[in-house]
Each structure stands twice: as structure tokens, then as C-alpha cells.
């Protein structure tokens, strides 16, 4: 007598500019998880994104002979509706070795679960490798920025790093003031296989090397923050400018959803540059408390991912609940399973 195949589980995927989290879930129980680098094609390229996603799904223990109950993806790759559809196609390709049963897929932006994490009006400000802003107030939803590093992402880790590296080159050229970022940049690129003693040339090699990614460049943001903490005037100005960009994004999302002074809303901070005690976080919160004080402040952490993603799944299974979300957030969905069927998954 052949063994009974395991019951199908939900495949949950959450990712941004530097990380991806994959899990299998049945009901309210997280069965297995796997974590790895970014699977955003615009950060790492289509081939690397696909390879990493396949690896993470396999490491999370998906049965190779059974299709999942459904796939829920909250991902930074969903910058537009078309991009969300493209990421859904990428997911389907990674599941190509399962049976022919169509797998229901929901792909939405990675800020969507955070908008569901608090009751009442909520504003989300994310600053990690990239930036993103979103707000919800009743049936009004809005999203600001989030169109990747060439069109947006002002104030992000990548933006702050690039501005810091440009300040180094300007100092080397004599086009800008001296800065302690120069010494920090020398240490940052010291793991390059060959160093020439010419910092400009070494930075060129380090930044444009074949395996370099958006997340790798963004890592220099930590050096900019370090220099600012130590009082370097160039770095201080860069951090203040970044905080102003975050303030502009949060203010725009709040205006779009009628969150104003006096509204009892929750401000949710996410991304490493805002969830950690950085100078950037301090400048941003100073602006918030002066101009748009929240009723409560929440800091998003990786521990909340399972509950966030299960909450998003349950929303998908609620008739018409995605209508206001789809209008504001880049979302692509394909035939959600019925809520009754999901109870048994």
C-alpha cells in the first residue's frame, strides 16, 4: 500500500531588494522556511532571480510531485501591475515540475502586508535597499514611489550609498570637499581581488564587477551613516537629505488617504535603515513628530512575516476584499481557492 501523499500547503514568498523569505504553511501553521538573497529581477537579473527562487522553494521542502494549494507573494519586484504579472510568471516557471493542475497565484507589493498589520488608519514607510511608502485609511489606499532605483528610491540605502560614493570621487577629483568617506570607501572595496592603490579605479572595479548587485552597492550606506555619526559634514548632509526624502514620501501617502494632523493613525517603519537606531531614523522621526504625529509607532520585524503573510492569504480568500487594494497597490491575482477549501489546507 503506497503512502498517502501529504496534504497540499500554501507557498508563501516575501522579498525585497536584498532578501527573500519562502515558507510552506498549512492552516495557521508555518511548516518550513528558507531564506536567501534577493529574487527581484531588476536587482539581480532574471536568471539569478529564477535560480535563487527555485533553490529557496526546494530548501523550504516543497514536495516535487505536488502543486501547492496556492502561492502568496508579497514582493518588491511588484513595482507595477505588469511587473507583478511578470513575477507571477516567474513563479509558475519555478513550479513547472509539479503536476498540470493550475496553481492559484497572488502577487502584490511587499508593503501590502504591512498595511494590514494594524487596525485603523496606517502609514508605512520602508527604507532598506530601496524605499516605499503606502497608506490606508478606511477604503482609501495609496502607494508612493517604489519604481526602483532609476525612477525613484530617493533616500534609500542604495541612493545614500551612491551619493556617498560620488562624494568620494568628487573629493578625489577636487570637485568636492574632503570627507572621511574616502577612507571608509577604501576599506569597503578592500575585498576586491586586485587593488591598484588608485581608489577611484578600485571603486570602479568593485562597483561594476560582474557579480555586483544593487544590494551590494547599497551596503555602503552603513559607511555613510557611520561617518555622519562621527560628524563628517558631507555625510551629515547626505543623511539629512535622505531623511527629507523619506518625509516627503510619507507625507504624500498620508495626503492621498486623508491622514492629517489629528488623525489617529499608526506609523509602521520597515527596512533596516529605519528599524535600527540610525541617525536617519532619528531625523525622520523628528520630522514626523513635528508635522504628522502618529497615535502609535510600530517597527516591522522579520518575526511578523508569518502572521503578515497569512493575513494577506485570508484577505485574498474574502470575496471582493482585494478591490481597493488592487486599485492602489501593484497586484496580480489568478483564481483564488475558495475559503471553504482553504480551511482544510
Tell me the three cell numbers of residue 296.
502609535
5, part of any domain: no
3, part of any domain: no
Cα separation, 302 vs 21, whole angstroms: 9
**17: CATH:** 3.30.420.40
Instruction: Report the run of H or E that residue 106 belongs to, with start and end.
Output: strand 105-108
Q: Residue 41 in contact with residue 101, Cβ under 8 Å?
A: no
What pLDDT does residue 337 have? 60
At residue 75, φ and ψ (nearest 5 deg) are -140, 140
Q: Residue 14 in contact with residue 113, Cβ under 8 Å?
A: yes
Residues 64 and 182 reside in one and the same domain = no
2, part of any domain: no
Q: How many domains does the chain have?
A: 2
278, part of any domain: yes
What pLDDT does residue 10 have? 93
Residues 74 and 213 reside in one and the same domain = no
Residues 70 and 203 reside in one and the same domain = no
pLDDT string in tens for the chain (345-residue length): 445 555 678 999 999 888 999 999 999 999 999 999 999 998 888 999 999 999 999 998 876 666 788 999 999 999 999 999 999 999 998 887 545 567 899 999 999 999 999 899 999 999 999 999 999 999 899 999 999 889 999 999 999 999 999 999 999 999 999 999 999 999 998 865 566 789 999 999 899 886 768 888 999 999 999 999 999 999 999 999 999 999 999 999 999 999 999 999 999 999 999 999 999 999 999 999 999 999 999 999 888 899 999 999 998 888 666 777 788 899 998 876 654 455 445
267, part of any domain: yes
Rounded to the nearest angstrom, the gap between the alpha carbon of residue 206 and the centroid of all alpha carbons in its chain is 24
Residues 123 and 250 reside in one and the same domain = yes
Residues 337 and 201 reside in one and the same domain = no
233, part of any domain: yes
Cα separation, 176 vs 178, whole angstroms: 7
Residues 55 and 175 reside in one and the same domain = no
Residues 235 and 270 reside in one and the same domain = yes
1, part of any domain: no
Residues 252 and 157 reside in one and the same domain = yes
User: Could you list the residue range(s) of the whole structural domain that residue 208 is in?
Assistant: 118-299
Rounded to the nearest angstrom, the gap between the alpha carbon of residue 167 and the centroid of all alpha carbons in its chain is 26
What pLDDT does residue 340 have? 42
Using DSSP bridges, classify how beta strands 296-299 and 266-270 pair: parallel, antiparallel or unpaired.
Answer: parallel
Using CA atoms of 16, 245, 120, 343 in order, give the dihedral in degrees to the nearest 10: -10
Residues 284 and 316 reside in one and the same domain = no
Tell me the three cell numbers of residue 126.
520602508
Residues 277 and 128 reside in one and the same domain = yes
55, part of any domain: yes
Residues 145 and 277 reside in one and the same domain = yes
How many angstroms separate the most distant Cα atoms in the chain? 79
Residues 83 and 192 reside in one and the same domain = no
Q: pTM (2 decimals)?
A: 0.89
Amino acid at each position: 500500500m503506497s503512502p498517502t501523499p501529504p496534504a497540499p500547503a500554501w507557498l508563501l514568498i516575501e522579498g525585497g531588494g536584498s532578501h527573500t523569505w519562502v515558507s510552506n504553511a498549512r492552516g495557521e501553521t508555518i511548516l518550513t522556511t528558507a531564506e536567501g538573497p534577493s529574487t527581484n529581477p531588476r536587482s539581480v537579473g532574471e536568471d539569478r532571480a529564477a535560480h535563487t527562487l527555485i533553490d529557496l522553494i526546494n530548501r523550504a521542502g516543497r514536495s516535487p510531485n505536488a502543486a501547492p494549494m496556492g502561492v502568496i507573494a508579497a514582493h518588491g519586484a511588484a513595482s507595477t501591475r505588469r511587473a507583478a504579472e511578470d513575477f507571477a510568471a516567474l513563479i509558475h516557471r519555478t513550479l513547472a515540475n509539479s503536476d498540470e493542475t493550475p496553481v492559484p497565484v497572488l502577487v502584490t507589493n511587499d508593503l501590502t502586508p504591512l498595511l494590514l498589520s494594524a487596525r485603523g488608519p496606517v502609514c508605512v514607510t520602508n527604507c532598506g535597499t530601496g524605499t516605499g511608502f503606502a497608506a490606508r485609511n478606511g477604503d482609501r489606499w495609496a502607494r508612493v514611489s517604489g519604481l526602483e532605483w532609476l525612477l525613484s528610491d530617493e533616500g534609500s540605502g542604495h541612493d545614500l550609498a551612491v551619493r556617498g560614493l560620488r562624494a568620494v570621487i568628487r573629493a578625489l577629483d577636487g570637485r568636492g570637499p574632503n570627507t572621511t568617506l574616502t577612507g571608509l570607501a577604501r576599506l569597503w572595496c578592500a575585498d576586491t581581488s586586485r587593488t591598484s592603490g588608485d581608489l577611484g579605479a578600485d571603486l570602479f572595479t568593485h562597483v561594476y564587477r560582474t557579480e555586483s548587485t544593487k544590494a551590494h552597492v547599497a551596503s555602503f550606506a552603513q559607511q555613510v551613516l557611520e561617518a555622519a555619526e562621527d560628524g563628517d559634514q558631507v555625510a551629515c548632509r547626505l543623511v539629512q537629505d535622505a531623511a527629507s526624502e523619506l518625509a516627503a514620501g510619507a507625507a504624500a501617502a498620508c495626503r492621498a488617504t486623508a491622514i492629517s494632523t489629528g488623525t489617529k493613525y499608526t506609523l509602521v517603519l520597515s527596512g533596516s535603515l529605519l528599524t535600527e537606531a540610525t541617525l536617519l531614523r532619528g531625523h525622520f522621526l523628528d520630522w514626523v513628530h513635528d508635522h504628522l504625529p502618529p497615535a502609535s509607532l510600530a517597527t516591522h520585524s522579520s518575526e511578523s512575516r508569518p502572521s503578515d503573510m497569512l493575513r494577506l492569504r485570508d484577505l485574498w480568500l474574502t470575496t471582493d476584499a482585494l478591490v481597493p487594494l488592487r486599485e492602489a497597490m501593484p497586484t496580480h491575482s489568478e483564481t483564488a481557492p475558495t475559503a471553504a477549501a482553504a480551511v482544510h489546507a
